[in-house]
Amino acid sequence: MDLQYTPEQNQLRESVERFVRDEYDFARRRRLAATDPGHDEACWRQYADFGWLAVPFSEEEGGIGGDATDTGIVMEGVGRGLLLEPYLA
């Protein structure tokens, strides 16, 4: 059993980490948490632009056909970064 990420999965992981590092600092999180609805809808649209929202859906459904590992990679990064926008509901 190979437990290594594929190059594509590493790329996905790096994209989430880069976004958190470069775009989602503590000051932004604090500011967003104090607003109604408590997150940034423009930021959520960025998730779609990055393809993160399409990960768990098949290509026939308009997604990218990711598997549970791919979804977990995004969820781990979103959780680690304490992003306030919904990812998987």
Could you tell me the CATH number of the domain that includes residue 19? 1.10.540.10
Count structural domains, the chain.
Answer: 1
Q: Check residues 73 and 1 and name the one with the higher pLDDT.
A: 73
> How many CB atoms within 10 Å of residue 23?
12
CA 80 to chain centre: 10
Helix (H) or strand (E) holding 49: helix 41-50
- In percent, the amount of the chain with pLDDT more than 70 equals 99
Whether 33 maps to a domain, the answer reads yes
pLDDT tens-digit series, residues 33-62: 999 999 999 999 999 999 999 999 999 999
Q: Closest by alpha carbon to 48, among 38, 35, 37, 57?
A: 57
Rounded mean pLDDT of 13-30? Answer: 94
Q: What angle do CA 42, 44, 50 make, to 5 degrees?
A: 105
| Closest-CA residue to 79 (of 30, 22, 13) | 13
Give percent of the chain with pLDDT exceeding 90. Answer: 89
Which domain covers residue 37, as residue numbers? 7-80
The pLDDT, as a whole number, for residue 14 is: 98
